[in-house]
Structure 1
Amino acid sequence: MSAALASWTFTSQARSARRARQAARAQLAEWGLQACDYAELLISELVTNAVRHARGLVRMSLSAADGLLRCEVEDSSPVPPSPRAASCDDEGSRGLLLVEVLSCGWGSVPTGRGKLVWFEVPVRMPVRMPAHA
Protein backbone atom coordinates (compact mmCIF):
# COMPACT_ATOMS: atom_id res chain seq x y z
CA MET A 1 0.00 0.00 0.00
CA SER A 2 1.29 3.46 -0.80
CA ALA A 3 1.26 6.13 1.90
CA ALA A 4 -2.20 7.47 2.75
CA LEU A 5 -2.93 10.70 4.62
CA ALA A 6 -6.04 12.34 6.10
CA SER A 7 -6.59 15.15 8.60
CA TRP A 8 -9.37 16.80 10.56
CA THR A 9 -9.84 19.83 12.79
CA PHE A 10 -11.91 19.56 15.95
CA THR A 11 -13.15 22.15 18.42
CA SER A 12 -11.87 22.12 21.97
CA GLN A 13 -14.88 20.25 23.37
CA ALA A 14 -15.26 16.95 25.20
CA ARG A 15 -17.18 15.37 22.30
CA SER A 16 -14.17 15.85 20.02
CA ALA A 17 -12.58 12.61 21.24
CA ARG A 18 -15.65 10.66 20.10
CA ARG A 19 -15.64 12.46 16.76
CA ALA A 20 -11.94 11.74 16.31
CA ARG A 21 -12.51 8.02 16.95
CA GLN A 22 -15.38 7.96 14.47
CA ALA A 23 -13.32 9.79 11.84
CA ALA A 24 -10.41 7.39 12.29
CA ARG A 25 -12.63 4.32 12.09
CA ALA A 26 -14.27 5.56 8.88
CA GLN A 27 -10.94 6.54 7.32
CA LEU A 28 -9.32 3.18 8.03
CA ALA A 29 -12.34 1.43 6.51
CA GLU A 30 -12.04 3.64 3.43
CA TRP A 31 -8.37 2.72 3.14
CA GLY A 32 -9.24 -0.96 3.61
CA LEU A 33 -7.18 -1.26 6.78
CA GLN A 34 -7.69 -2.59 10.28
CA ALA A 35 -5.79 -1.01 13.14
CA CYS A 36 -5.00 -2.86 16.33
CA ASP A 37 -7.92 -2.96 18.73
CA TYR A 38 -6.59 -0.19 20.93
CA ALA A 39 -5.84 2.46 18.26
CA GLU A 40 -9.13 4.22 19.01
CA LEU A 41 -8.30 4.26 22.73
CA LEU A 42 -4.98 5.97 22.01
CA ILE A 43 -6.66 8.47 19.69
CA SER A 44 -9.10 9.27 22.50
CA GLU A 45 -6.24 9.83 24.92
CA LEU A 46 -4.36 12.26 22.70
CA VAL A 47 -7.44 14.24 21.65
CA THR A 48 -8.77 14.35 25.22
CA ASN A 49 -5.40 15.63 26.46
CA ALA A 50 -5.36 18.30 23.76
CA VAL A 51 -8.89 19.43 24.65
CA ARG A 52 -8.12 19.40 28.38
CA HIS A 53 -4.75 21.14 28.38
CA ALA A 54 -4.88 23.56 25.45
CA ARG A 55 -7.19 26.18 24.00
CA GLY A 56 -8.52 26.50 20.51
CA LEU A 57 -8.68 24.01 17.68
CA VAL A 58 -7.23 20.52 17.78
CA ARG A 59 -5.86 19.03 14.57
CA MET A 60 -5.59 15.28 14.03
CA SER A 61 -3.84 13.61 11.13
CA LEU A 62 -3.63 9.94 10.24
CA SER A 63 -1.16 8.38 7.88
CA ALA A 64 -0.66 4.76 6.97
CA ALA A 65 2.38 3.26 5.29
CA ASP A 66 4.50 0.14 5.57
CA GLY A 67 2.13 -1.58 8.01
CA LEU A 68 1.98 1.32 10.49
CA LEU A 69 -0.72 3.81 11.34
CA ARG A 70 0.62 7.12 12.59
CA CYS A 71 -1.72 9.44 14.48
CA GLU A 72 -0.66 13.05 15.10
CA VAL A 73 -2.60 15.47 17.31
CA GLU A 74 -1.61 19.13 17.35
CA ASP A 75 -2.79 21.69 19.87
CA SER A 76 -1.90 25.22 20.97
CA SER A 77 -0.09 24.36 24.22
CA PRO A 78 3.70 24.44 24.05
CA VAL A 79 3.98 22.23 27.17
CA PRO A 80 5.24 18.76 26.19
CA PRO A 81 3.32 15.75 27.50
CA SER A 82 4.87 13.84 30.36
CA PRO A 83 3.65 10.46 31.62
CA ARG A 84 2.99 10.49 35.35
CA ALA A 85 2.67 7.71 37.85
CA ALA A 86 -0.88 7.63 39.17
CA SER A 87 -1.81 6.48 42.64
CA CYS A 88 -4.48 3.84 43.10
CA ASP A 89 -7.05 6.52 43.95
CA ASP A 90 -6.34 8.82 40.97
CA GLU A 91 -9.10 8.89 38.39
CA GLY A 92 -6.78 10.16 35.67
CA SER A 93 -3.08 10.45 34.80
CA ARG A 94 -2.83 7.05 33.10
CA GLY A 95 -3.44 8.05 29.47
CA LEU A 96 0.12 8.67 28.38
CA LEU A 97 1.26 5.50 30.11
CA LEU A 98 -1.26 3.62 27.96
CA VAL A 99 0.07 5.36 24.86
CA GLU A 100 3.61 4.43 25.87
CA VAL A 101 2.80 0.77 26.51
CA LEU A 102 0.34 0.09 23.68
CA SER A 103 2.03 1.89 20.78
CA CYS A 104 5.08 0.96 18.72
CA GLY A 105 6.41 4.41 19.45
CA TRP A 106 5.25 7.86 20.47
CA GLY A 107 6.59 11.32 21.12
CA SER A 108 6.01 15.02 20.77
CA VAL A 109 7.59 17.87 18.87
CA PRO A 110 7.16 21.62 19.27
CA THR A 111 5.39 23.43 16.44
CA GLY A 112 4.92 27.09 15.61
CA ARG A 113 1.41 26.75 17.02
CA GLY A 114 2.14 24.67 20.16
CA LYS A 115 3.02 20.99 20.00
CA LEU A 116 2.30 17.86 18.04
CA VAL A 117 1.95 14.53 19.86
CA TRP A 118 2.11 11.32 17.83
CA PHE A 119 1.95 7.54 18.15
CA GLU A 120 2.28 4.59 15.79
CA VAL A 121 0.48 1.23 15.84
CA PRO A 122 0.39 -1.69 13.38
CA VAL A 123 -2.29 -1.91 10.68
CA ARG A 124 -3.20 -4.77 8.40
CA MET A 125 -5.45 -5.56 5.49
CA PRO A 126 -8.69 -7.18 6.69
CA VAL A 127 -8.85 -10.93 6.30
CA ARG A 128 -11.33 -11.78 3.59
CA MET A 129 -12.73 -15.27 3.42
CA PRO A 130 -12.89 -16.70 -0.10
CA ALA A 131 -16.37 -17.06 -1.51
CA HIS A 132 -17.49 -20.68 -1.78
CA ALA A 133 -18.44 -21.87 -5.20
Structure 2
Amino acid sequence: MSVRVLLVDDAVDVRRVVRIALRHHGGYDVVGEAGAGREAIDLATELRPDVVLLDLGLPDLAGREVLTRLRESAPSAKVVVFTGMEREDRAWFEEHAAGFVLKSDDLDYLVALLDDVGRAAARQEAARFDPVSSSVPEARAFVRGLLRDWGATHMFDEASLIVTELAANAVLHAESPYEVRITHADGVLRIEVTDGDPGTPEPQPFSAVSETGRGIVLVAAVSASWGIDARPDGKVTWAELRP
Protein backbone atom coordinates (compact mmCIF):
# COMPACT_ATOMS: atom_id res chain seq x y z
CA MET A 1 0.00 0.00 0.00
CA SER A 2 1.46 3.37 -1.07
CA VAL A 3 1.93 6.26 1.34
CA ARG A 4 -0.14 9.21 0.12
CA VAL A 5 1.92 12.42 0.12
CA LEU A 6 0.98 16.09 -0.28
CA LEU A 7 3.91 18.29 -1.36
CA VAL A 8 3.76 21.90 -0.16
CA ASP A 9 6.44 24.24 -1.50
CA ASP A 10 6.27 27.44 -3.52
CA ALA A 11 9.32 26.33 -5.54
CA VAL A 12 8.14 24.18 -8.45
CA ASP A 13 11.62 22.76 -9.00
CA VAL A 14 11.84 21.55 -5.40
CA ARG A 15 8.48 19.79 -5.69
CA ARG A 16 9.61 18.18 -8.95
CA VAL A 17 12.87 16.87 -7.45
CA VAL A 18 11.10 15.40 -4.42
CA ARG A 19 8.35 13.88 -6.56
CA ILE A 20 10.92 12.17 -8.80
CA ALA A 21 12.90 10.92 -5.79
CA LEU A 22 9.79 9.40 -4.21
CA ARG A 23 8.72 7.81 -7.48
CA HIS A 24 12.13 6.16 -7.96
CA HIS A 25 12.20 5.02 -4.34
CA GLY A 26 8.76 3.44 -4.62
CA GLY A 27 5.98 3.07 -2.08
CA TYR A 28 4.72 6.64 -2.40
CA ASP A 29 1.85 8.28 -4.23
CA VAL A 30 2.05 12.08 -4.56
CA VAL A 31 -1.67 12.87 -4.46
CA GLY A 32 -1.35 16.65 -4.60
CA GLU A 33 0.96 19.66 -4.75
CA ALA A 34 0.49 23.16 -3.36
CA GLY A 35 2.51 26.35 -3.68
CA ALA A 36 0.80 28.31 -0.90
CA GLY A 37 -0.51 27.74 2.61
CA ARG A 38 -4.24 28.18 2.02
CA GLU A 39 -4.09 25.91 -1.01
CA ALA A 40 -2.28 23.29 1.08
CA ILE A 41 -4.96 23.40 3.79
CA ASP A 42 -7.75 23.00 1.22
CA LEU A 43 -5.98 20.07 -0.45
CA ALA A 44 -5.24 18.38 2.88
CA THR A 45 -8.91 18.61 3.81
CA GLU A 46 -9.99 17.20 0.44
CA LEU A 47 -7.31 14.56 -0.19
CA ARG A 48 -6.60 13.33 3.38
CA PRO A 49 -2.94 12.48 2.75
CA ASP A 50 -0.90 10.25 5.02
CA VAL A 51 2.07 12.63 5.00
CA VAL A 52 2.40 16.36 4.26
CA LEU A 53 5.87 17.58 3.28
CA LEU A 54 5.79 21.26 4.27
CA ASP A 55 8.04 24.15 3.32
CA LEU A 56 7.88 26.98 5.87
CA GLY A 57 8.65 29.85 3.49
CA LEU A 58 5.24 30.08 1.82
CA PRO A 59 4.05 33.37 0.32
CA ASP A 60 0.71 33.74 2.12
CA LEU A 61 0.83 32.18 5.60
CA ALA A 62 3.47 31.92 8.31
CA GLY A 63 4.93 28.49 9.01
CA ARG A 64 3.35 28.05 12.45
CA GLU A 65 -0.09 28.97 11.16
CA VAL A 66 0.13 26.60 8.21
CA LEU A 67 1.26 23.70 10.40
CA THR A 68 -1.43 24.36 13.02
CA ARG A 69 -4.21 24.58 10.44
CA LEU A 70 -2.95 21.50 8.59
CA ARG A 71 -3.15 19.49 11.79
CA GLU A 72 -6.71 20.74 12.33
CA SER A 73 -7.89 20.03 8.78
CA ALA A 74 -6.14 16.65 8.43
CA PRO A 75 -5.54 15.36 11.98
CA SER A 76 -4.49 11.88 10.85
CA ALA A 77 -1.75 13.22 8.52
CA LYS A 78 1.88 13.35 9.59
CA VAL A 79 3.56 16.67 8.78
CA VAL A 80 7.28 16.73 7.93
CA VAL A 81 8.90 20.15 7.69
CA PHE A 82 11.26 20.56 4.72
CA THR A 83 12.76 24.04 4.89
CA GLY A 84 15.61 25.96 3.31
CA MET A 85 17.02 27.61 6.41
CA GLU A 86 17.72 26.91 10.06
CA ARG A 87 15.20 28.59 12.37
CA GLU A 88 15.38 29.96 15.88
CA ASP A 89 12.04 28.28 16.64
CA ARG A 90 13.10 24.90 15.29
CA ALA A 91 12.34 23.26 18.64
CA TRP A 92 8.67 24.29 18.33
CA PHE A 93 8.38 22.70 14.90
CA GLU A 94 10.18 19.54 16.02
CA GLU A 95 7.65 19.25 18.86
CA HIS A 96 4.58 19.78 16.65
CA ALA A 97 5.70 17.97 13.46
CA ALA A 98 6.73 14.40 12.70
CA GLY A 99 10.10 15.52 11.32
CA PHE A 100 12.29 18.52 10.49
CA VAL A 101 14.67 18.38 7.52
CA LEU A 102 16.82 21.11 5.96
CA LYS A 103 16.93 21.31 2.19
CA SER A 104 20.71 21.31 2.45
CA ASP A 105 20.58 17.79 3.89
CA ASP A 106 21.06 14.77 1.66
CA LEU A 107 17.88 13.85 -0.20
CA ASP A 108 18.33 10.22 0.83
CA TYR A 109 17.98 11.35 4.45
CA LEU A 110 14.63 12.95 3.66
CA VAL A 111 13.38 9.79 1.94
CA ALA A 112 14.56 7.61 4.84
CA LEU A 113 12.73 9.87 7.30
CA LEU A 114 9.57 9.71 5.18
CA ASP A 115 9.87 5.91 5.23
CA ASP A 116 9.78 5.97 9.04
CA VAL A 117 6.97 8.51 9.19
CA GLY A 118 4.95 6.76 6.49
CA ARG A 119 5.06 3.43 8.31
CA ALA A 120 3.73 5.11 11.43
CA ALA A 121 1.00 7.08 9.67
CA ALA A 122 -2.46 5.80 10.54
CA ARG A 123 -5.52 6.19 8.38
CA GLN A 124 -8.73 6.36 10.36
CA GLU A 125 -12.32 7.14 9.49
CA ALA A 126 -15.64 6.63 11.30
CA ALA A 127 -19.34 6.90 10.51
CA ARG A 128 -22.57 6.46 12.48
CA PHE A 129 -25.55 4.43 11.32
CA ASP A 130 -29.14 3.93 12.43
CA PRO A 131 -30.08 0.56 14.00
CA VAL A 132 -32.09 -0.60 10.97
CA SER A 133 -31.36 -3.47 8.61
CA SER A 134 -30.89 -1.16 5.63
CA SER A 135 -27.86 0.39 7.37
CA VAL A 136 -25.84 -2.85 7.11
CA PRO A 137 -25.13 -2.55 3.36
CA GLU A 138 -24.47 1.17 3.94
CA ALA A 139 -21.82 0.30 6.54
CA ARG A 140 -20.30 -2.25 4.17
CA ALA A 141 -20.19 0.31 1.35
CA PHE A 142 -18.54 2.81 3.72
CA VAL A 143 -15.72 0.39 4.52
CA ARG A 144 -15.26 -0.74 0.92
CA GLY A 145 -15.10 2.87 -0.24
CA LEU A 146 -12.31 3.62 2.23
CA LEU A 147 -10.35 0.53 1.22
CA ARG A 148 -10.67 1.59 -2.41
CA ASP A 149 -9.41 5.09 -1.59
CA TRP A 150 -6.54 3.65 0.46
CA GLY A 151 -5.47 1.21 -2.25
CA ALA A 152 -6.34 -1.82 -0.10
CA THR A 153 -8.86 -3.59 -2.33
CA HIS A 154 -7.09 -6.90 -1.61
CA MET A 155 -8.86 -6.79 1.80
CA PHE A 156 -12.35 -6.33 0.30
CA ASP A 157 -13.70 -9.81 0.97
CA GLU A 158 -12.56 -10.27 4.58
CA ALA A 159 -13.32 -6.68 5.59
CA SER A 160 -16.76 -6.83 3.94
CA LEU A 161 -17.64 -10.00 5.85
CA ILE A 162 -16.44 -8.59 9.16
CA VAL A 163 -18.28 -5.27 8.95
CA THR A 164 -21.43 -7.01 7.70
CA GLU A 165 -21.53 -9.41 10.62
CA LEU A 166 -20.62 -6.83 13.28
CA ALA A 167 -23.07 -4.26 11.94
CA ALA A 168 -25.83 -6.88 11.70
CA ASN A 169 -25.16 -7.88 15.30
CA ALA A 170 -25.47 -4.23 16.38
CA VAL A 171 -28.76 -3.86 14.50
CA LEU A 172 -30.14 -7.09 15.96
CA HIS A 173 -29.26 -6.47 19.60
CA ALA A 174 -28.73 -2.71 20.12
CA GLU A 175 -31.54 -0.18 20.26
CA SER A 176 -29.35 2.82 19.52
CA PRO A 177 -27.28 4.12 16.59
CA TYR A 178 -23.95 2.36 16.11
CA GLU A 179 -20.56 3.59 14.90
CA VAL A 180 -18.22 1.88 12.45
CA ARG A 181 -14.57 2.91 12.75
CA ILE A 182 -11.82 1.63 10.45
CA THR A 183 -8.11 2.19 11.04
CA HIS A 184 -5.11 1.22 8.96
CA ALA A 185 -1.64 1.50 10.49
CA ASP A 186 1.58 -0.48 10.13
CA GLY A 187 -0.10 -2.89 7.72
CA VAL A 188 -2.90 -3.79 10.17
CA LEU A 189 -6.53 -3.08 9.28
CA ARG A 190 -8.79 -2.74 12.34
CA ILE A 191 -12.58 -2.61 12.14
CA GLU A 192 -14.57 -1.53 15.21
CA VAL A 193 -18.31 -1.40 15.72
CA THR A 194 -19.53 0.46 18.79
CA ASP A 195 -23.13 0.02 19.95
CA GLY A 196 -25.25 0.69 23.02
CA ASP A 197 -25.90 -2.93 23.98
CA PRO A 198 -23.86 -4.11 27.00
CA GLY A 199 -24.35 -7.78 26.10
CA THR A 200 -21.36 -9.64 24.67
CA PRO A 201 -21.91 -11.98 21.71
CA GLU A 202 -20.33 -15.41 22.02
CA PRO A 203 -19.35 -17.76 19.19
CA GLN A 204 -21.97 -20.50 18.80
CA PRO A 205 -21.47 -24.08 17.59
CA PHE A 206 -22.32 -24.57 13.93
CA SER A 207 -25.96 -25.42 13.27
CA ALA A 208 -27.52 -26.14 9.89
CA VAL A 209 -30.89 -24.80 11.04
CA SER A 210 -30.04 -21.82 13.23
CA GLU A 211 -30.39 -18.42 11.56
CA THR A 212 -28.35 -16.54 14.17
CA GLY A 213 -25.23 -16.95 16.28
CA ARG A 214 -22.79 -17.71 13.46
CA GLY A 215 -21.58 -14.16 12.76
CA ILE A 216 -18.91 -14.09 15.46
CA VAL A 217 -17.71 -17.53 14.33
CA LEU A 218 -17.18 -16.15 10.84
CA VAL A 219 -15.44 -13.03 12.18
CA ALA A 220 -13.12 -15.17 14.30
CA ALA A 221 -12.38 -17.41 11.31
CA VAL A 222 -11.27 -14.68 8.88
CA SER A 223 -9.58 -12.22 11.26
CA ALA A 224 -6.11 -12.37 12.77
CA SER A 225 -7.58 -11.34 16.12
CA TRP A 226 -10.86 -10.05 17.49
CA GLY A 227 -12.39 -9.05 20.78
CA ILE A 228 -15.06 -7.18 22.72
CA ASP A 229 -14.30 -4.17 24.92
CA ALA A 230 -16.95 -3.20 27.45
CA ARG A 231 -17.91 0.45 27.93
CA PRO A 232 -20.19 2.11 30.46
CA ASP A 233 -22.73 2.81 27.72
CA GLY A 234 -22.29 -0.31 25.59
CA LYS A 235 -19.42 -2.15 23.94
CA VAL A 236 -16.91 -2.12 21.08
CA THR A 237 -16.59 -5.29 19.00
CA TRP A 238 -13.43 -5.27 16.90
CA ALA A 239 -11.48 -7.43 14.50
CA GLU A 240 -8.08 -7.05 12.84
CA LEU A 241 -6.74 -8.15 9.48
CA ARG A 242 -3.00 -8.48 8.92
CA PRO A 243 -0.93 -8.97 5.75
Same fold (TM over 0.5): yes
What is the 5 A alignment of 1:35-74? 35=155, 37-74=157-194
Shift of residue 36 of structure 1? 5.0
Does structure 1 residue 93 correspond to structure 2 residue 213? yes
- Which 4+ stretches in 1 moved above 4 angstroms? none
Amino acid at match of 1:31: W
Counterpart position of 1:130:
none
Report the more deviating stretch, 91-100 or 102-111: 91-100
The structure with more radius of gyration: 2
Query: Which of 184, 198, 203 is the equivalent residue of 1:83?
Result: 203
One-letter code aligned to 1:9? R
Q: Distance in 2 between matches of 1:76 and 1:86?
A: 27
Between the aligned residues of both structures, percent identity stands at: 35
Uncovered stretches (5+) of structure 1, i.e. residues with no partner: 124-133
Question: Which residue in 2 is equivalent to 1:11?
Answer: 130
Q: Is the 8 A contact 1:3 1:65 kept in 2?
A: yes
Superposed CA RMSD: 1.3
Q: Distance in 1 between the 2:136 and 2:241 partners?
A: 18
Q: Normalization by structure 2: what TM-score?
A: 0.49
TM-score, normalised relative to structure 1: 0.87
Structure 1 residue 113 corresponds to structure 2 residue 233: yes
Find the aligned partners of 1:27 and 1:76 in 2 and give their Cα distance.
Answer: 25
For residues 58-105 of structure 1, give each alpha carbon's deviation from its aligned partner in whole angstroms, at most 9, with x where no partner exists: 101000011111000000011112111132221222111011111000
Alignment equivalent of 2:147, drawn from 14, 24, 28: 28
Distance between the aligned counterparts of 2:127 and 2:224, measured in 1?
A: 23
* Residue segments in structure 2 that go unaligned for 5+ positions in a row: 1-117
Tell me the CA shift for residue 4 of structure 1: 0.5
SS in 2 for 1:107: strand
In the alignment, structure 1 residue 104 sits paired with structure 2 residue 220: no
**Structure with the largest fraction of helix:** 2
More strand per residue: 1 or 2? 1
The AA in structure 1 aligned to 2:228 is S
